[in-house]
Amino acid sequence: MTEFESFLANYPLNVAQKALELRQLIIANLPNITEQIDAPAKMVAYCYGQKYAELICVLIPSKKGLKLGFNRGVELKDPFKILEGNGKISRYIQIKLDDDLNLQPTIGLLLEGLELYREKLN
């Protein structure tokens, strides 16, 4: 069992399965991304370094569902209007457990988050 699977063992099977699916999508679309499991915070961060500014997104499982949070989510265009939240910086997508992942909008936001990160480097 991987560290990721061990982390998900604390959640219902449908949440764990959807989290594994979402993880594959994140890794496939964010080249060389680092995955950092933060068990006390109950989330998994995907970033290109150790600083908050290098964070692209976080996977947040709960007993009832799953969220995909975006650092700098307020800066994402979100043409499909799927981002939620009212924080000053971050936004999230509520992942539906009983439906297929909404691939096009989710991948679009992941790629846009990556682009924002790359712009900050320049």
How many structural domains compose the chain?
1
Per-residue pLDDT band for 101 (boundaries 50, 70, 90) equals confident
Q: Domain residues for 71?
A: 3-121
pTM for the model stands at 0.93
C-alpha–C-alpha distance, residues 79 and 48, integer Å: 25
3 state DSSP class of 52: helix
Q: What's 90's domain CATH number?
A: 3.90.1150.200
pLDDT digits (tens, 9 = 90+) for 7-18: 999 999 999 999
Q: What is the DSSP string of 87-108?
A: -SS-EEEEE-TTS---HHHHHH
pLDDT digits (tens, 9 = 90+) for 22-56: 999 999 999 999 999 999 999 999 999 888 778 99
Residue 17, CA distances (Å) to 32, 42, 98 in order: 23, 16, 11
